[in-house]
Structure 1
Amino acid sequence: MERGSPSWLQAFTAMAYRQLLRFRGARSRVANAVIFPLMWLVFFGYGWSVAFNQLGPMATRMFGGLSYLEYLAPGIIVMTVFTGGFGSGLGVIWDREFGYLKEILVSPAPRSAVLLGRITGDTLATMIQGTLMALLVSLAADYTSPRGILAGLAAALVAAYASASIGTLIALSMKSPEGFHMVVNLVMMPMLFLSGAFYPLDPLPGWVKAIAYVNPLTYAVDLTRGLMYGVHTLPLALDALGLAVVTGVFTLAAVAKFSKTYIA
């Protein structure tokens, strides 16, 4: 290593700290990542809860013994961190626009440390939003287990890391914020609806379920619901493994992409 070059850990820590500082000043990002899932909870959760309550025991069996609001609650928590994590990619776009990314690329700092530090910092920032949403959702669903909330947030943490990695991977191929937002919306909405957050996946056709099980959000939602309520479609160990594997694949892809990035 050249004299004066930062170590891998120093570069990683510095980038993670920078992203946390940026988050503190990004009020619009915080508001967007909290308000969007909160709207789903209020308008979708309460609205459909009233409709499903009319079905009585049939609805309870449909959602594994839970009310619809209880079924939706873990999905709302994961949705919060997942949508918030995509903001990591937008940060890459703006760093490119203002020249900061170019400075990082020509610096002696290890690129893997830089990228993983960015993703980690954004993930931790997103978890602040996720914790706030978990408290709000728990109040709405009358959920009172601190251990369950903490376990659910642990699963959401991995989902947030996956989201930040996916957002960064997309951003490294984009030239403008407008293009990034368009691609993210095309990617994010199907991932949300094919995650089991809003309805069970079992009745869906086989080819749709095959797509759903490539989605890290599917494992995160099922794992979070299983840890909070004991209701899950897959074995929890398989949920944890699937979430870890898919997250690892996207993270390694983002690191590989960043290592080859060149800005003239």
Structure 2
Amino acid sequence: MRGIIAILKRNLTNFIRDKMRLAFSIIMSVFFLFVFSFVMKSTAVGIVQPLNYLISGIIIMTVFQAALSNSTSIIEDMSMGFMKEIIVSPIKRWQISIGQVLSSTVIAFFQGLLVIVLGMFMGLNLSIFQFLQMCAVMLLVGITFSCIGLYLASLAKSSTTFQIMITVFTFPLTFLSGAYIPTTIMPKIIQPLVYINPLTYTTSIFRYITLDMKNLTLTALIKSGVAFNIHGFIIRPYAGLFIISIMCAVFFILSVIQFNKADFSNIKVFDPHAK
């Protein structure tokens, strides 16, 4: 347990010291908020509170992307030899992997909280119960994608490869989830991709909680892009919790297994000054 706490404290300290990293993550969230707010105002037909609808999507996407991106520190530790030093210590590998997952989760969670604060200044109203539910969902999403980030980092052989893997993984999932552009206005040809995207249902349950949609009818939820009618099969918002919980369990096991057998001697970081 001490090993897990030590790794958690170290990674959090490194993140706090890297103020530019935190600043740019907030800037990107604000950028998406202003850019896509114009899209929502002109195309969000049938959506109640379109701006708040967008804010809630940006919050959960911030947690998702931060959880994955924070795994870059794992590659840096591997390349700098820090990981080798930890491995020869009495700390077991599974403890190291859990410490890495927890640190990425905590960082992603607090980045999500910062976006919530920004959202409140823009008109997002929340009750205490809604806030607590949002925190629970953010933690679950943070743990899930921190596990996925650790798994991908353990597979990668260089920081360049890892960044490509993260980009390929996040870009389609983000824009097909309905976080920035409502799924209700997406072309029918890509609707099957929307339905198989796990982030679609994660975004759905988060919006359902954030915008307090429990009193809406099923028809209204479908029109708002929070529930889904797939050829007569209805997927309600809380299905998102079930889907993300399964993903969390599966990738937690996979990440620990992969980390335990990873060869850290071959990890390289791209050096722009190298000839």
TM-score range, shorter chain: 0.7 to 0.9
1:245 corresponds to which residue? 246
Is the 2:67–2:142 Cα contact (8 Å) retained in structure 1? yes
1:41 corresponds to which residue? 33
Q: Could you tell me the TM-score, scaled by structure 1's length? A: 0.84
Could you list the per-position Cα deviations for residues 125-168 of structure 1 after superposition, in whole angstroms to 9, with x for gaps in the alignment?
22111101011123224424343233223212211222222222
What SS class does the counterpart of residue 86 from structure 1 fall into? helix
1:135 pairs with 2:127? no
Change (3 A) 1:96 1:23: same
In structure 2, list runs of 5 or more residues that go unmatched.
214-220, 228-234, 266-275
Q: Distance in 2 between matches of 1:12 and 1:213?
A: 37
Output the amino acid matched with 2:240: D
Change (3 A) 1:213 1:106: farther
Q: Which of 54, 74, 99 lines up with 1:117 in the alignment?
A: 99
Q: Distance in 1 between matches of 2:134 and 2:181?
A: 18
Q: Distance in 2 between matches of 1:11 and 1:31?
A: 29
Is the 1:48–1:68 Cα contact (8 Å) retained in structure 2? no
Output the amino acid matched with 1:95: D
Change (3 A) 1:261 1:138: same
Change (3 A) 1:87 1:49: closer
Output the amino acid matched with 1:147: F
In structure 1, list runs of 5 or more residues that go unmatched.
1-8, 53-58
Output the amino acid matched with 2:149: G
Change (3 A) 1:263 1:199: closer
Q: Distance in 2 between matches of 1:178 and 1:199?
A: 29
Residues 70-81 of structure 1 mapped to structure 2, 5 A cutoff: 70-81=52-63
Is the 1:216–1:247 Cα contact (8 Å) retained in structure 2? no
Is the 1:88–1:119 Cα contact (8 Å) retained in structure 2? no
Q: Between Structure 1 and Structure 2, how many residues are aligned?
A: 246
Change (3 A) 1:213 1:248: farther
1:228 corresponds to which residue? 210
Residues 174-189 of structure 1 mapped to structure 2, 5 A cutoff: 174-189=156-171
Q: Could you tell me the TM-score, scaled by structure 2's length? A: 0.81
Q: Which of 84, 97, 116 lines up with 1:102 in the alignment?
A: 84
Tell me how far 1:20 sits from its aligned partner: 1.5
1:169 corresponds to which residue? 151
Could you list the per-position Cα deviations for residues 79-104 of structure 1 after superposition, in whole angstroms to 9, with x for gaps in the alignment?
11111112332011100111011122
Q: Distance in 1 between matches of 2:112 and 2:9?
A: 19
Aligned identity (percent) is: 27
Q: Distance in 2 between matches of 1:262 and 1:106?
A: 13
Is the 2:54–2:180 Cα contact (8 Å) retained in structure 1? yes
Change (3 A) 1:237 1:67: closer
Output the amino acid matched with 1:78: I
Output the amino acid matched with 1:261: A
What SS class does the counterpart of residue 90 from structure 2 fall into? coil
Change (3 A) 1:49 1:72: same
Q: Distance in 2 between matches of 1:203 and 1:245?
A: 29
Q: Distance in 1 between matches of 2:187 and 2:195?
A: 13
Is the 1:214–1:246 Cα contact (8 Å) retained in structure 2? no
Could you list the per-position Cα deviations for residues 12-42 of structure 1 after superposition, in whole angstroms to 9, with x for gaps in the alignment?
2222222211211122221232221211101
Q: Distance in 1 between matches of 2:209 and 2:238?
A: 11
Change (3 A) 1:256 1:206: farther
